[in-house]
Structure 1
């Protein structure tokens, strides 16, 4: 696999071409099947809908190409995280989680890992290396952390965790393989919610696990097969279609976010701003080293909860929604979910709208808020 991201993107859309016979459809067919024709010995053939599906195979091929590692598809990002936890951990193991990352990961650990005798500790992403990693079986990194956009040094964390004997998992949902490559920085496992930018159209839940360790991949695949945590073929087809335009959309979103973040920083209604592409952001220097792009998420804080809600609901080019990474610019006030952020904190996901039109709408909504 080349390290040239442009070459990786160009090759992605031609992976299927390499297998086409004359007369085959160029577009990926959707295979809706729970049973497959299976006379005689089943080894080496599609067997049953919980085990195999050609549409999964195609989307996993694309994800594997992007990650430069074997990828395993799941019906959501949390299904991917669950597969890692339940395939890699046992009673008596200890896990380190980010205290400021996606909250559902912590809830899963509290509700279902702890009763099974798997303990966990929390540590803020910005201080993730403080205290070391001795005694941990698994270290779970999320950088940039969602929603506050704090950072940790992936390479340094992986080196220290491996020295302590831990496996490192990196949640790369916010960045995609085009923006950040945790496996290249030393992570053992990547998890991601492809519901976000990889699908990009807000119409499918999906996730994946990727690793270059064959034993990890085999365990994750066994968990999927035996637990039944399988993606639907139609969702896989939608994500396959979305991945074909991910590089184009991601480039537009990141470029627009860089323009908009600089303007938001100068706006008097914005009391605080987090975006790693800004030179004054506390994570800027680290972001320049470990990321290919600065992403499309902006964290801005307005004076009050009311101002934040007025901004979100009063902008005709913001979709109020509790997700991110779609073609629509979207936003939400994350304190409503209990995240440890200010009442007026807004997670803004920059979409694919023309940037000057988008800025006009954002500026007008800020003035009215």
Structure 2
């Protein structure tokens, strides 16, 4: 019998959230040596060279005699022009930003932490700001993938958190599809929070990475969906496979905090979803985005029936403020669907 995700209600402790702040299984084996810059996109080789340079610096053991000088690691010597305490990789989908970020984490000496932006905000919510600052200040490097602000509360929360961590000497590295001074644009009145947004941008040296989405080079936009019966039979024949109706699944997701979506997939090796439909509710769509991210982190193949995946988000959504999130989710779900059909 397939697993029913709709029957799962995992409980996740703050300790587990913290202990899981490492690159997801998909990016556990990546290294700088396995990154293949596109010769037609010089910004990729430039970003690789920069991250290797910073990785070499972070590979050196931290000096325990003068911990407060850690904040100078990326700033150079006093006689040299100072750079910002963090590196921020901006670019489109599938150009290898996460590969580079995870590679930096792998070569760096600890203590170190790796998480997505959503996981970081969930961690602060679970620990509280004071405890989060105390716990995260112990890290030498914090890598934050998929950095994007969706509301004023997140803007103020993360601005305050990162400011205190930088003051404590923590080094930052982040990826996003949005430049730091454009975070929140299209979703709320960014001008009302300009001070917070500028404070965030001040922490980062921004590097742009250009190029097409490598996941779709030579691939169709989306595979043809299976029938409901095909998905159900395939899930029944795959050990560790789940199978749920799309509507039941997204209603169930609404009853769980997004910080639990990772544990939600514990032991699941294939996800089957029948009767995928076009989404028009923003809240439901954003929950599906988080689930897609956690599936992609764990490299879990997808078996799907219903509308083609590239029709799952309505045209209005794909033109709105969360457009980049939806496009990222589509990019990832289509890649997982191709794996499921292989």
**What TM-score, normalized by structure 1, do the two folds share?**
0.31
Point out which structure has higher relative CO (alpha carbons under 8 A, 6+ apart).
2
**What TM-score, normalized by structure 2, do the two folds share?**
0.32
| Structure with greater proportional helix content | 2
